[in-house]
Amino acid sequence: MDETYHELKVIPSGRLELFLDFLQTLFPDAIEVGSDSLVLRSSEPLDDIAWGAKEFGAALSQKLGEEISVETRLAQKRNEDWIARYKESISPVEIAEFYIHPSWESPKSGKINITIDPALAFGSGHHETTAGCLEAIGQTVTEGDTLLDVGCGSGVLGIAAAKLGAEVDACDTDPLAVENAMKNFELNGCRVRNIWNGSAAGSKESYDTVVANLVADILCMIAKDLKARTKEGGFLILSGILDTKESSVEDAFSDMKLLKTIAKSEWRTKIYQNNKENNGG
């Protein structure tokens, strides 16, 4: 083992999920996800990735028309057992009837237990958007339902639905996320019926519930596909919505019935119903 390793901390002023998606295309190993930062560790120098994060921030600012600053901190550190230290810093989280815990923690009696290792993927339950989706799934999904998880990440949302008795399909545009989700389904003793590398357009079925924890701009871009996958009378759960983008999402989905908005900090999760009378069908 090398005596030292390289660490890069990326701190964007916003759009953390988009930065995570971008960095995962450049960096093959696990990325530690904090509340406002991303940490990469490697035996190789990370200067090029730091430069790429800065360039991505500039391109994102231009594309979205909003100023997104990026701070990068490079360091070379002594090679302690940082994985063990990271494990010590992660605690289980309880959301509604679900108890999400890493594999090194014990399950909790009386709860629906889901095992997810937070270092492996975005979607451990600790982020407000994931927590909002889990609450919404607990309120809408019943045994025998079908559910599509769009942008499945770690698979935590689909696993929660499967543990409630749903038949689950899932997809993600990142093939590494698909692979990780499959492993997590197996780890939790759950079955994913179909899973593919892509988005909602990869399915021609309609579902009792569709859940998409992405970002507001992407939700609006794929609104037609998400609506098409939701059965008449079915539920569409949308998350990854900053309060500043809430109105644009509501405009894009105005032909569906908004049942509930779950607010957690500056993040919003919305539960819609594909109500034929509401959308004029």
Q: Which amino acid is at 247?
A: S
pLDDT-derived band at 278, boundaries 50, 70, 90: low
> Tens digit of pLDDT for each residue in 128-158?
899 999 999 999 999 999 999 999 988 999 9
The mean of the pLDDT values for the chain is 89
Angle of helix 156-163 relative to helix 128-140, nearest 10 degrees? 20
pLDDT number for residue 77: 85
Query: pLDDT value at position 280?
Result: 41
Percent of the chain's residues with pLDDT above 70:
90
Find the largest Cα–Cα distance for the chain.
Answer: 66
For the cut 50, the answer to whether the pLDDT of residue 120 exceeds it is: no
242-261 pLDDT, tens digit per residue, is 898 999 999 999 999 999 99
Residue tagged 């190993």 (tokens)? 29
d(C-alpha 26, C-alpha 32), whole Å: 15
The residue with tokens 């995570």 is 20
Name the β-bridge partners of 115. Answer: 101
Q: How confident is the model at residue 26 (pLDDT cuts 50, 70, 90)?
A: confident
Q: What does the pLDDT look like over 169-223, one tens digit per residue?
A: 999 988 888 998 999 999 999 999 999 999 999 999 999 999 999 889 999 999 9
Class of domain 122-273: alpha beta
Total Cβ atoms within 10 A of residue 200 = 22
Helix, strand and coil in the chain, % to nearest 5: 35, 30, 35
Q: Domain locations in the chain? A: 4-87, 122-273
Residue 48's SS3 state is helix
Superfamily designation of domain 4-87: Reverse transcriptase/Diguanylate cyclase domain (3.30.70.270)
Residue 259, number of CB atoms within 10 A of its CB: 16
Cβ neighbours for 265, distance < 8 A, ≥ 6 positions apart: 128
Tokens at residue 247, please?
């109105």
CA distance 161 to 178: 17
| Contact call for residues 99 and 108 (beta carbons, < 8 A) | yes
pLDDT at 281: 39
The answer to whether the CB of 132 falls within 8 A of the CB of 156 is: no
For the record, the structure tokens of 275 come out as: 């109500």
d(CA 259, CA 13): 31
* Residue 121 banded pLDDT, cuts 50, 70, 90: very low
Whether pLDDT at 95 is above 60: yes
The answer to whether residue 126 scores a pLDDT higher than 90 is no
Tell me how far apart the alpha carbons of residues 113 and 134 are, in angstroms, rounded to a whole number. Answer: 12
Least confident piece of the model among 4-13, 150-159, 215-224, 269-278: 269-278
User: Which one has a higher pLDDT value, 26 or 182?
Assistant: 182
What one-letter code names the amino acid at 151?
G
The residues, ordered by sequence, that sit 6+ positions from 193 with a Cβ below 8 Å of its Cβ are 167, 168, 169
Give the tens place of pLDDT for each residue, 231-240. Answer: 999 999 999 9
Contact 143, 116 (CB under 8 A): no
Q: Kind of pairing, strands 167-172 and 146-150?
A: parallel
279 — phi, psi (to 5°)? -95, 10
